[in-house]
Amino acid sequence: MVCPLREPVSDVFISDSSHTSRGEQRVFSRGVREHKLNFIQLSERPHDASMLGTSSLKVLLLAVAVGVYLIPSPIDPKPYTFEDPPPALDGPLAVNTRLQRGRRLFSGQLKGPESFTADQKGNIYTGTVDGKLWRISNESLTFITQTGRNIPECGMSTDYEPVCGRPHSLRLDRDGQLIVADSYQGLFKVDPWTGEKTLLHSSKEGADGIPFGFLNGLEISKNGTVFFTDSSSKWGRRHVRYEVLETNRLGRLLSYDPVTGRVRTLLDSLYMPNGFAFSPDEDFLLLAETSIAHVIKFWLKGPKAGTKEVVLNNMIGYPDNIRLSDRGTFLVGITTVRFRGRLFPPFLDLIGPYPAVKRFIVKLVPLGWYDVLLPKYGLILELGPDGEVIDSLHDPTGSLTWAVSDVFQQGTHYYLGNTDLPFLPVLEEWS
């Protein structure tokens, strides 16, 4: 049997006048019968195909939108509106390149040296994203200990941080021991020479029945009391983007008495409290509320003791650690800049008042993508005692550093912290 679509050519002839107005072509097979082969006109095919394609695309997009809408959001954001647009880049905030006048140390050896302290011999101490504590002496690096478990995966992903540990802030007490705030584990005492460590207070214990979720800043007062911040009782460090987008008030400033072991809550209902620094006389401290770009003053002595006030709001960026300089001023690392756009306000300003938009965004954008979207712009601020901006150092292209977490002065050198970068930037002088 011969297939109709494979008939011999010799058995078929096509009439010259066999085209109809609809594009049909008549084929005669030696008088047996007439076959009609319909050829769609070129002008008809794209129209019908595009109609079908458009309809299918609309159905697909609708299905995706409904699916995303039905997925529960991991965050429960609150509306927040910044008081004003970001300040203009003029006066003490004028753009410059003074933050580019430095160099990088230990490239590929230190990842995320967050904060620093130093002993009387000039040794520098820091903690990194892989859970390790280090001593820096004459630009040589010595491993001290690990706050968590030392496994091969440490430093490869934030998912391993609760196991490996993440030392954030550290200071030396009067006995020369390191007091370390590990974001996940709690407060440690570490011998900087032997590496012996003691857990002073675990995050699970917390304070007032609330476990610590994200230990962050730490300072030791002259009388030995340890002050520290818990940035969030809900989100850990590895979910810091959720904490910022949610804009909740679940942070606390606390104190630990090394003699009695007692932990007290000094301030609560704070917006992601981060680093802080005492005044020279320790009559107050300045503290960064990172998620809302604020710096507050908390009074420790005098008639205002126990009260707080906002001394700097509507900042040019989101503050991280605050350190006291030898000039009596306060040095602030800016983790992310908050600049005016040509057409739109800064991203968090734009979505701040709309919780539904925040919930939708976190469903679509994986956590690992947020860092890619952040500008590589380095910025540190110098503040006076009342929170006024008196100077700023910029690295507009990130040639030395960006996302500055700490500005630690040791002599004429300034060690610049960061949360994830694989090097340690150092300024030779404040110029």
Pick the range with the lowest mean pLDDT from 125-134, 274-283, 318-327, 339-348: 339-348
Q: Which of 33-42, 120-129, 140-149, 255-264 has the lowest mean pLDDT?
A: 33-42
Q: What percent of the chain has pLDDT over 90?
A: 76
Domain residue extents for the chain? 69-93+106-375
Tens digits of residue pLDDT in 265-312: 999 999 999 999 999 999 999 999 999 999 999 999 999 999 999 999
In this predicted model, which residue has the larger pLDDT, 181 or 83? 181
Whether the pLDDT of residue 4 is over 50: the answer is no
Instruction: List the one residue out of 380, 304, 398 whose CA is nearest residue 335.
Output: 380
Tell me what pLDDT residue 30 has. Answer: 42
Q: Which of 76-80, 156-160, 363-367, 403-407 has the lowest mean pLDDT?
A: 363-367
* Helix, strand or coil, per DSSP, at residue 27: strand
Task: From residue 143, give the alpha-carbon distance in Å to each of 127, 134, 147, 182, 337.
Answer: 10, 5, 12, 17, 33
Class of domain 69-93+106-375: mainly beta
Helices marked H in 352-417 — which ranges?
Answer: 355-364, 370-373
Alpha-carbon gap, residue 256 to 258, rounded angstroms: 6
More confident residue, 358 or 344: 358
Q: Which residue has the higher pLDDT, 156 or 364?
A: 156
CA distance 61 to 68: 10
Question: How far from chain centre, in Å, is Cα 86?
Answer: 19
What percent of the chain shows pLDDT beyond 70?
86
What's the chain's length in residues?
Answer: 431
pLDDT at residue 69, rounded to an integer: 64
Q: State the pLDDT at residue 61.
A: 66
Q: How confident is the model at residue 412, as a pLDDT?
A: 93
Q: Calculate mean pLDDT across residues 408-427.
A: 96
Return the bridge partners of 210, or none. 207
Average pLDDT value for residue range 346-366: 91
pLDDT at 41 over 80: no
Look at residue 370 in the predicted model and tell me its pLDDT: 74
Question: What average pLDDT score do residues 363-386 get?
Answer: 87
**From CA 121, how far away is CA 143, in angstroms rounded?**
18
Rg (alpha carbons) of the chain, rounded to whole number: 31
CA 71 to chain centre: 24
Residue 16 has pLDDT above 60, yes or no: no
The predicted structure's pLDDT at residue 9: 41
Give the pLDDT score at 15.
41
Lowest mean pLDDT among 220-229, 290-299, 335-344: 335-344
User: In this predicted structure, what is the pLDDT of residue 27?
Assistant: 43
- The pLDDT value recorded for residue 55 is 76
CB-CB contact of 246 with 358 (8 Å): yes
Average pLDDT over residues 395-416: 97
- Reduced to 3 states, what is the DSSP secondary structure of residue 106? coil
Residues 101-144 pLDDT 10s: 999 999 999 999 999 999 999 999 999 999 999 999 988 999 99
pLDDT of residue 206: 98
Decide if pLDDT at 38 tops 60. no
What average pLDDT score do residues 2-29 get?
42
Average pLDDT (254-258) is 98
Do 179 and 170 contact (CB within 8 A), yes or no? yes
Angstrom distance (rounded) from CA 139 to CA 418: 18
The helix or strand, by DSSP H or E, that contains position 418, with its residue range, turns out to be strand 413-418
The mean pLDDT of the chain is 88
> Do the beta carbons of residue 264 and residue 249 sit within 8 Å?
no
Give per-residue pLDDT as tens, 51-71: 667 777 777 767 666 666 668
> Do 419 and 370 touch, CB atoms closer than 8 A?
no
Q: What is the pLDDT of residue 36?
A: 44
